[in-house]
Amino acid sequence: MDNEARWRDVDSHLVGELVEEDDALVGARELGRERGLPAIEVAPNQGAFLALVAQMTGARRVLELGTLAGYSTIWLARAVGPEGRVTTVELDPRHAAVARENLDRAGLAYRVDVEVGPALDVLSDLVDAGSDPYDLVFIDADKVNMAAYLELALRLTRSGSVIVGDNVVRRGAVVDPTSDDPSVLGARAFLHALGNDPRLEATALQTVGSKGWDGFAIARVC
The domain spans of the chain are 3-221
Residue 125 C-beta-side C-alpha neighbours within 13 Å: 10
* The predicted structure's pLDDT at residue 19: 97
Residues 135/56, Cβ–Cβ less than 8 Å = no
Q: How far is CA 99 from the centre of its chain?
A: 14
pTM: 0.96
What number of helices (H) and strands (E) belong to the chain? 8, 7
Superfamily of domain 3-221, CATH level 4:
Vaccinia Virus protein VP39 (3.40.50.150)
Q: What is the largest CA-CA distance in the chain?
A: 54
DSSP letter assigned to residue 35: T
Please name the helix (run of DSSP H) or strand (run of DSSP E) that holds residue 165, with its range, or none.
strand 157-166
* The predicted structure's pLDDT at residue 72: 98
CA distance 70 to 29: 8
pLDDT digits (tens, 9 = 90+) for 150-176: 999 999 999 999 999 999 999 999 999
